[in-house]
């Protein structure tokens, strides 16, 4: 029986070799895939870090923009207030000038009347 067992084992031997070869090829392929996966994972982590940095940069830029908008708003408000104050001053100055001119005209009219009365009396 030993001879028969040996012959049967020899017949199965090429199948075992093929199975081992296939296993080794599959193992090599799995190792390659694992290496590729690890590289991809590292690249993804790098991209995530870069995106996080960009997000932080964007948030900082937004905050700076808000501060600048507030500053611009305050400056425009200040300019508007100064413009309104300037207009009020100008109006007051014009009113005073008109009053002075009216007083001057009144004074001249009275002076003219007095002068005319003197000529009439004489």
> Is there a domain that residue 102 lies in?
no
Give the DSSP H or E segment for 96: helix 2-121
User: Measured between alpha carbons, how far is 83 from 75 in angstroms, rounded to an integer?
Assistant: 12
Q: Is 14 left (phi over 0), alpha (psi -120 to 50) or beta?
A: alpha
Provide the domain limits for residue 48: 1-85
Per-residue model confidence (pLDDT) at position 62: 98
User: Measured between alpha carbons, how far is 60 from 64 in angstroms, rounded to an integer?
Assistant: 6
Q: pTM above the 0.85 mark? A: no
Assess whether pLDDT exceeds 60 at residue 63.
yes
User: Measured between alpha carbons, how far is 118 from 102 in angstroms, rounded to an integer?
Assistant: 24
Write the pLDDT tens digit of every residue in 36-61. 999 999 999 999 999 999 999 999 99
> Is there a domain that residue 47 lies in?
yes
> Is there a domain that residue 35 lies in?
yes
Per-residue model confidence (pLDDT) at position 114: 73
Domains of the chain: total:
1
70 band by pLDDT with thresholds 50, 70 and 90: very high
pLDDT above 90: percentage of residues in the chain: 66
> Is there a domain that residue 91 lies in?
no
Write the pLDDT tens digit of every residue in 112-122. 877 766 666 65
Q: Which of 46-60, 64-78, 102-116 has the lowest mean pLDDT?
A: 102-116
**DSSP letter for each residue of 32-76:** HHHHHHHHHHHHHHHHHHHHHHHHHHHHHHHHHHHHHHHHHHHHH
> Is there a domain that residue 43 lies in?
yes
């Amino acid at each position: 029986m030993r001879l028969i067992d040996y012959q049967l084992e020899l017949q199965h031997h090429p199948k075992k070799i093929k199975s081992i070869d296939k296993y080794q090829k599959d193992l090599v392929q799995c190792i390659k895939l694992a290496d590729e996966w690890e590289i991809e994972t590292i690249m993804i982590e790098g991209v995530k870090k870069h995106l996080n940095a960009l997000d932080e940069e964007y948030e900082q830029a937004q905050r700076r923009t808000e501060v600048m908008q507030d500053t611009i708003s305050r400056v425009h408000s200040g300019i508007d207030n100064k413009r309104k104050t300037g207009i009020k001053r100008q109006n007051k100055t014009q009113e005073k000038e008109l009053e002075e001119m009216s007083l001057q005209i009144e004074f001249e009219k009275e002076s003219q009347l007095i002068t005319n009365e003197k000529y009439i009396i004489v």
